[in-house]
């Protein structure tokens, strides 16, 4: 399958992001794939900074999947109480631990379909776990930053995360998906900020459909 041409917008965007962020990794702190899954579940409607504060103590209190599975739900709930939707997330974490023990021999699944069978795990979370936990490019985790920037750049015209992901996957080769994902998220935090974008210093403005149409004079 042929993707971007040598001088295409898509290639220019990726090269600019790679130059801006020569090295980058996920902002969530974790020491194993289970902790990554827990942190990613917690990150829904919660900043990575807040998640890292929560997990600093959580990952000391509970160190194994069986400990989460057997812990009283109210204790997990209390431990993550500063996260948004903490009651639902506590249930997802405990039930996911129980299902992993029962169905997957105590190991976090390595496939999209198996991860999606876990409570509270949708495609975005599964993509994060597969790439950052197992190094597998199975898709792009579309969060608010990825969706916003992709629309502004003209890489998609959809607000639907599944459609945004599909559009991005059609534009970039598989080996670049996770790479692009990390950089779009970080760029949305650093430069293309929702309410106060720093367009004057943006390295993507030459390729940005929104900038060219509305801001360039």
Distance in angstroms (rounded) separating the CA atoms of residues 93 and 26: 20
Report which DSSP code applies to 199: G
SS3 209: helix
Q: Answer for the pair 188, 148: CB distance below 8 angstroms, yes or no.
A: yes
Q: Answer for the pair 106, 100: CB distance below 8 angstroms, yes or no.
A: yes
The verdict on whether 198 is a catalytic residue reads: no
DSSP string, 156-187: -----HHHHHHHHHHHS-GGGHHHHHHHHHHH
Q: How many CA atoms lie within 13 A of 189 on its CB side?
A: 13
The verdict on whether 57 is a catalytic residue reads: no
Instruction: Check residue 109 and give left, alpha or beta (phi > 0: left; psi -120 to 50: alpha).
Output: beta
Catalytic residue (one of 48, 95, 136, 143): 143
Taking the CA atoms of residue 22, residue 28, residue 30 and residue 34 in that order, the dihedral angle to the nearest 10 degrees is -120
Q: What angle do CA 175, 206, 26 make, to 5 degrees?
A: 40
Catalytic residue (one of 94, 124, 147, 205): 124
Residues with a known catalytic role: 124, 143
């Amino acid at each position: 399958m042929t993707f971007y041409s040598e001088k295409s917008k898509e290639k220019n965007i990726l090269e600019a992001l790679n130059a801006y962020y020569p090295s980058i990794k996920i902002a969530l702190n974790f020491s194993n794939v289970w902790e990554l899954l827990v942190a990613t579940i917690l990150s829904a409607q919660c900043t990575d900074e807040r998640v890292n504060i929560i997990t600093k103590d959580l990952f000391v209190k509970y160190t194994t999947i069986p400990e989460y599975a057997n812990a009283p739900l109210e204790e997990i709930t209390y431990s993550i109480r500063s996260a948004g939707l903490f009651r639902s997330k506590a249930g997802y974490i405990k039930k996911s631990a129980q299902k992993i023990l029962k169905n997957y021999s105590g190991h976090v699944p390595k496939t999209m379909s198996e991860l999606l069978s876990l409570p509270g795990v949708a495609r975005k979370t599964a993509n994060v776990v597969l790439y950052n936990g197992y190094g597998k490019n199975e898709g792009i985790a579309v969060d608010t930053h990825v969706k916003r920037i992709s629309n502004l750049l003209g890489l998609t015209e959809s607000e639907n995360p599944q459609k945004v992901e599909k559009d991005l996957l059609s534009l970039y080769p598989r080996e670049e998906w996770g790479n692009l994902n990390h950089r779009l998220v970080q760029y949305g935090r650093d430069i293309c900020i929702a309410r106060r974008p720093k367009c004057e210093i943006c390295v993507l403005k030459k390729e940005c459909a929104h900038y060219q149409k509305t801001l360039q004079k």
